[in-house]
Amino acid sequence: MKEEKKELISFIERKIKELKKELSYYEKILDLLTGRTSRKGSKEEAPSKIKVITKGNEVIANLIYTSTGLRIAFSNPVPEDLPALHSFLLKVLEEKKKEGEIVDFSVKGGKGFVSEIEIAGDVKDMLVTELELAITYVKEEANKFEKTSA
């Protein structure tokens, strides 16, 4: 009986996450069709909180909290071919997505660099701590990468 209850709870939690993701897609499609840009979660949404990540006197990134999740904005874009970016930061996000801790994430940038990572879902404090450590490590590796490339 307890196992059935746990399975049912797990199923319902998964279904809610799936439906929220599906709803966000419908909202995006509606925004595209109607030309709206002010919907909750759009780029123009005012952040609810901003956390600055520093190493010494250097600002590494800003964590921008929104009603739909969290956006990581690097102060200096990170090379997209940086091994630490894929093997550490993006790997953490993939695992959190698989575990259902976040709904989804997307990497943004251009010309061979990553400038932002958007995370959709209810981002918990423990994940923020993990992300801060991962971002600090990635930026340290990026600095080493830049020195060896120069």
Look over the chain and give the mean of its residue pLDDT values, rounded to a whole number: 84
Whether the pLDDT of residue 101 is over 70: the answer is yes
- Alpha-helical runs (H) found in the chain: 2-34, 83-84, 90-99, 125-149
pLDDT value of position 2: 80
Residues in Cβ contact with 31 at an 8 Å cutoff, skipping those fewer than 6 apart: 37, 39, 42
Give the CA dihedral 92, 98, 101, 102, nearest 10 degrees: 80
Structural domain boundaries of the chain?
1-45, 49-149
Burial of 75 (0-12, 13-18, 19+ CB in 10 A): middle
- 28: pLDDT strictly greater than 80: no
pTM score, two decimals? Answer: 0.66
Q: What is the mean pLDDT of residues 77-94?
A: 92
Topology (CATH) of 49-149? Alpha-Beta Plaits (3.30.70)
Tens-place pLDDT, residues 48-69: 788 999 988 889 999 999 888 9
> What's residue 36's pLDDT?
63
